[in-house]
Amino acid sequence: MKGYVQVYTGNGKGKTTAALGLALRAVGAGLKVFIAQFLKGMTYSELSSIQRYSDLITLKQYGAECFVNGTPSDEDFRLSKLGFAESREAVLSGEYGLVILDEANVAVHFGLLKAEDLVELMDIKPKTLELVITGRYARPEVIEKADLVTEMKEIKHYYTQGVQARTGIEK
């Protein structure tokens, strides 16, 4: 089976959720999945679900306990560099059918990763590997290189009414 590069971007809700849904589908088909979550170091409900599939899904977080606000710290840079190196290994290992780089576009936006590194990874991925890159701010060169790009567009969201992230729904 030929693998493609998918990008989920935009300011609307659902980019990570779409990628995790694809991971669930891949596991149902017997594929192994590697998920790298950039900029995320907090506990989210999906971590509990994914632990149930630990034989088929490897999820690693490469972020501090709080999301980057303003200037990234040295720790943010260290974790992103480690995350990209381990993601590159996962892509080239031949072990996985699906690799997800969650929030990698945002890591590029903050200067924690380089867009050209994402593009190079897209170039060198095995032909049978499906690669998904999520996050707002997808760079034009990443969009151009991808096979499928979906933009999540916010039309209306209840957080504008002061609703905080809810366990099991947004976190």
Look at residue 162 in the predicted model and tell me its pLDDT. 86
Look at residue 94 in the predicted model and tell me its pLDDT. 97
pTM of the model: 0.93
* CA pair distance 60, 72, nearest whole angstrom: 20
Domains of the chain: 5-161 (3.40.50.300)
- Count Cβ atoms within 10 A of the Cβ of residue 170 and give its class: 0-12 exposed, 13-18 middle, 19 or more buried: middle
Residue at 156: amino acid letter = K
- Buried residues in 11-32 as b, exposed as e (16+ CB within 10 A): ebeebbeebbebbeebbeeebb
DSSP conformational letter for 72: P
pLDDT tens, position by position, 99-151: 999 999 999 999 999 999 999 999 999 999 999 999 999 999 999 999 999 99
The two structure tokens encoding residue 71: 């200037």
Residue ranges of alpha helices (H) inside the chain are 15-28, 45-51, 74-93, 104-109, 115-124, 140-145
Q: If you average pLDDT over each of 67-71, 145-149, 162-166, which comes out highest?
A: 145-149
90-102 mean pLDDT: 98
Phi then psi for residue 30, to 5 deg, are 85, 10
DSSP conformational letter for 65: S
pLDDT band at 65 (very low <50, low <70, confident <90, very high): confident
* CA pair distance 80, 61, nearest whole angstrom: 9
pLDDT band at 68 (very low <50, low <70, confident <90, very high): low
pLDDT tens, position by position, 16-61: 999 999 999 999 999 999 999 999 878 778 888 898 899 999 999 9
Look at residue 161 in the predicted model and tell me its pLDDT. 84
